[in-house]
A and B are shown apart, each in its own frame.
Chain A
């Protein structure tokens, strides 16, 4: 899941321009649409201030929300 660090985000919009899934939007601050986001990480790498990060998925397969130890 994409996390936005509000204190670091400068609202420049670069992440919005690079998102292939149209999952990021200003409304009026930066918001992520979790239904559209596929956690590809493009926005995380492009952020000039490092305000975005990917946290481990919280899914029904992993209800505890603990980070998965194995990835496919």
Chain B
């Protein structure tokens, strides 16, 4: 039997994949969007924090997606010194479950065919610039394939990419919902230190007063079997005794360099699959939305009739590199540098130097530069990065 054919197949319906499908379909292409899970965005494997700028660069924000607005942050050092931050870019805790379902619905409304509960097991090139996508259901053919399969980025391996991560380039995360009366509705807290999350941090992202997403990431090179879960439960027990815990899940965050090339012949990588994540903070929603949108637009524009011009797909990499690519590479270099000083004494000494500082004058960047200023050699490197 002849395979069903599409112009563009997108694998993975997270933020990057649905944005790609939405924009390719909007431009009139015949698009199929595959999702392994029955319901997209469930369970949520994310802290759900995002800066407004990161969203509006790619999409109009629907108020339904917002859980709460964040106006303050607080960093806590290994020995418990608090550094309050009052100068924040506009930031939100969002509801990814609702957002992702909406993005899929928007893609479907624009004409994309959505197939959930369907694994794509292999993508193989065929004669005549076709790719066959072998799925757990019927196989389909397409001229262009956008891989948005998330951290595992496995299909890309069969097409020539080397996507396996080294342990120092992945944050191993666990998170849960905590109900406790001490949770403030408008402040995000970060705890740093080897006792909390070696090579990473604990986050407390409120959903509103009394409830928060509490999670942590441990750098892979400091991790051992089950450690993320163990440290998270220990943290919750210590800071929120007798709290109600629900929705305990885990996930990995790539903190690597973005994958080069992003395009090979008719295949494009987007989102976590392309390692498009800020390696210092672990934030990836904004990058994923943007990469998905431009990959969708550019793939659609690369078609003449039913033929796809592979050369013009490369515009995607150029656009990404100039818009977020440089910033992402910087975050990777900074992460590397920070990890060379990753000890509790260092974080405590940075926190101590801010005791008594006015929170209204405190922004993330100030803390950051102070941290590197403690090591003049590093500060020079940081300035070079920001040139």
Interface residues of A (CB under 8 A from B): 10, 12-14, 16-20, 22, 25-28, 42, 44-50, 52-53
0/1 string, B192-231, CB within 8 A of A gives 1: 0000000000000000000000000000100111111100
- Whether the pair B174, A17 counts as a contact (CB closer than 8 A) is no
The tally of CB-CB contacts under 8 A between chains A and B is 95
- Whether the pair B150, A13 counts as a contact (CB closer than 8 A) is yes
Q: B249 an interface residue at 8 Å Cβ cutoff?
A: yes
- Whether the pair A25, B154 counts as a contact (CB closer than 8 A) is yes
By a CB distance below 8 angstroms, the chain B residues around A22 are 154, 157, 164
- Whether the pair B136, A46 counts as a contact (CB closer than 8 A) is no
- Whether the pair A18, B250 counts as a contact (CB closer than 8 A) is no
B interface majority secondary structure: loop
- Whether the pair B225, A18 counts as a contact (CB closer than 8 A) is no
Say which residue of B36, B163, B229 sits within 8 Å of A48 (CB atoms): B229
Closest B residue, CB atoms, query A8? B226
0/1 string, B150-161, CB within 8 A of A gives 1: 111110010000
- Whether the pair B151, A13 counts as a contact (CB closer than 8 A) is yes
By a CB distance below 8 angstroms, the chain B residues around A10 are 43, 249-251
Q: Nearest 4 A-B pairs (CB), nearest first?
A: A50-B226, A14-B252, A48-B250, A48-B228
- Whether the pair A47, B154 counts as a contact (CB closer than 8 A) is no
By a CB distance below 8 angstroms, the chain B residues around A13 are 150-152, 251-252
Given contacts A17-B165, A50-B226, contact A28 B250 (CB under 8 A): no
By a CB distance below 8 angstroms, the chain A residues around B45 are 12
Closest A residue, CB atoms, query B216? A48
A sample of 4 more A-B contacts (CB under 8 A), given A46-B172, A49-B229, is: A10-B249, A12-B249, A48-B250, A48-B252
Q: How far in angstroms is the closest Cβ of chain A from B16? A: 15
- Whether the pair B249, A26 counts as a contact (CB closer than 8 A) is no
Q: Which residues of B in the span 73-108 have a Cβ within 8 Å of any Cβ on A?
A: none
- Whether the pair A18, B36 counts as a contact (CB closer than 8 A) is no
Q: List 21 A-B contacts (CB under 8 A).
A: A10-B249, A12-B151, A12-B249, A12-B252, A13-B150, A14-B151, A14-B250, A17-B152, A17-B165, A18-B165, A18-B167, A22-B157, A27-B119, A28-B36, A45-B220, A46-B167, A46-B172, A47-B225, A47-B226, A48-B223, A50-B226
By a CB distance below 8 angstroms, the chain B residues around A42 are 167
How far does the alpha carbon of A64 sit from the alpha carbon of B251 in the complex, in Å? 37
How far does the alpha carbon of A20 sit from the alpha carbon of B166 in the complex, in Å? 9
- Whether the pair B170, A45 counts as a contact (CB closer than 8 A) is no
Q: B129 an interface residue at 8 Å Cβ cutoff?
A: no
Q: How far in angstroms is the closest Cβ of chain B from A3? A: 12
Q: B121 an interface residue at 8 Å Cβ cutoff?
A: yes
How far does the alpha carbon of A13 sit from the alpha carbon of B252 in the complex, in Å? 7
- Whether the pair B167, A28 counts as a contact (CB closer than 8 A) is no
By a CB distance below 8 angstroms, the chain B residues around A16 are 151-152, 154
How far does the alpha carbon of A34 sit from the alpha carbon of B370 in the complex, in Å? 50
- Whether the pair A12, B250 counts as a contact (CB closer than 8 A) is yes
- Whether the pair A17, B36 counts as a contact (CB closer than 8 A) is no
- Whether the pair A26, B36 counts as a contact (CB closer than 8 A) is yes
By a CB distance below 8 angstroms, the chain A residues around B172 are 14, 46-48
By a CB distance below 8 angstroms, the chain B residues around A47 are 172, 225-226
Q: How far in angstroms is the closest Cβ of chain A from B144? A: 23
Closest B residue, CB atoms, query A18? B165
- Whether the pair A20, B164 counts as a contact (CB closer than 8 A) is yes
Closest B residue, CB atoms, query A47? B225
By a CB distance below 8 angstroms, the chain A residues around B228 are 48-49
By a CB distance below 8 angstroms, the chain A residues around B152 are 13, 16-17, 26
Q: How far in angstroms is the closest Cβ of chain A from B48? A: 16
Closest A residue, CB atoms, query B253? A14
